[in-house]
Amino acid sequence: MKQDIMKVVLCAAFVVTSCVIDLLGQANFSSKLSEYFEEVSKTTSTHNGLWNVDLYGPILLVDPKTRDVFANERDSSGLLVPGSGIFRGKLPNDINIANTSIRWNGKHWAMILLPLSANRNERLNLITHELFHRVQSTLELNTINTDNNHLDKEHGRIYLRLELEALRQAIQSPSLDVAFPHIINAMLFRELRHQMYSDADSTENMLELNEGLAEYTGLIMSERSEKQIVKHLMKSIRDFQQNKTFVRSFAYQTIPLYGFLTSKFIREFWNRDITRQSNLTSYFMRSFNVKIPIDIETYTSKVWLNYNGAQISREERKREDDNARLINEMTIRFVKNPHLEIPFERMNVSFDPGNLIPLENYGTVYPNLRITDNWGVLTVTDGALLSADWSKVIVTAPEENTNRFARGKGWTLELNSDKYVIIHDGTSSNYYLRRK
């Protein structure tokens, strides 16, 4: 009996101790997040001259596994509860979790996924990038992201990689005299790419105005020294080369590189010249007084070997062959084979921009994404095709289909209303989500 009582006492003590440890852990966690909010507030205040505005504002830090959310201020609906200097709550299931900016509960937030980097510079870079997006419309710099499918083609990739290699050499240069030839060559590789692919100039520009300026903002507000910036950019270029595709991720490289060089050698706050009507390629060409030669192909063919051109060309030739097989497989899977088409009404999507597969004339395959719409939530872990006009998403044919739930290879669809139903077209063997 005494032993049983002792066991109960020990168990109770263990539970109390565990609760105390848990509470202490929560308090320490809250304190750390509060410190992060404070460091962001200080750096945006220090660098408010970058855009002539303090970017600091509502921030949501979200745990993607639990949907727990931690904020630096209240929401307008009172769903976030104050405690230990921060505000916490749960993010509703209809909100996609991503590093982005969103309007939620009466405020415009910068949303960032947890865990944050232990490296202060990386942390500040990411958060201020998203804070820029939060005020982008206020700065009248809001635009839309566009796919740049030409950057999944052999020569599109070759000339982007050559451009980045020239910029890599430029940022290591001690003076403008040394950097200048590399900057010229980088911009001429870019110009030749734009001449090869119609609309490349405009579609690249739209993404660079959006994500490029945001990433440049993060770079400047990261509190890195000039030496650290160069080291960071060098690593970023190396990591970028490992991306499966460049169509939605290249702007995170190009504008920080050109921006850093322009700020260092030409004008510190060059970005203040930019509007949503600006063409960034033209702007940087004017800034560095780059002249386009009459025969740009002949010129670039003489300098490309200085930028690892032979190896880049070999690698991209092999990738082109491998990619052709992959595109054929994806076309069979999402176009020719039976599939489910889901139309968009008020779509919101989150995805990884580094692993997309463009299918000419059909759209782009996104290996991982989460879509919310009036009909519910679609979660994809093994590929879905977004149509070229972004009017619908296509997944493989359903293997299970009930009143409010459907599942197929690498995807699940949760319907939030019985007003929607999946119908089968006996003629084409395809399936369609329709309103009843």
Domain count, the chain: 3
Domain-ending residue, one of 106, 135, 164: 135
Q: Tell me: do 128 and 259 sit in the same domain.
A: no
Q: Does the residue 194 lie in any domain?
A: yes
Q: Tell me: do 129 and 155 sit in the same domain.
A: no
Domain-ending residue, one of 112, 135, 158: 135
Q: Does the residue 319 lie in any domain?
A: no
Domain-ending residue, one of 105, 135, 165: 135
pTM: 0.89
Which tokens is 68 given?
């727990």
Q: Which domain range does residue 375 map to? A: 329-435
Q: Does the residue 389 lie in any domain?
A: yes
Dihedral, 292, 301, 239, 287 alpha carbons, nearest 10: -10
The DSSP H or E segment spanning 183 is helix 176-196
- pLDDT digits (tens), the chain, 436 positions: 545 555 444 444 444 433 333 433 566 888 899 999 999 999 999 999 999 999 999 999 999 999 999 999 999 999 999 988 899 999 999 999 999 999 999 999 999 999 999 999 999 999 999 999 999 999 999 888 888 999 999 999 999 999 999 999 999 999 999 999 999 999 999 999 999 999 999 999 999 999 999 999 999 999 999 999 999 999 999 999 999 899 999 999 999 999 999 999 999 999 999 999 999 999 999 999 999 999 999 999 999 999 999 999 999 999 999 999 999 999 999 999 999 999 999 999 998 887 899 998 899 999 999 999 999 999 999 999 999 999 999 999 999 999 899 999 999 999 998 899 999 988 889 999 999 8
Q: Tell me: do 205 and 250 sit in the same domain.
A: yes
Q: Tell me: do 31 and 56 sit in the same domain.
A: yes
Q: Tell me: do 279 and 158 sit in the same domain.
A: yes
C-alpha separations of 45 from 42, 51, 129, 189, 268 in Å: 5, 11, 15, 38, 17
Which tokens is 275 given?
């509007």
Q: Does the residue 321 lie in any domain?
A: no
CA angle 112, 113, 117 (to 5 degrees): 95
Q: Does the residue 316 lie in any domain?
A: no
Burial tier of 218 (Cβ tally within 10 Å: 0-12, 13-18, 19+): buried
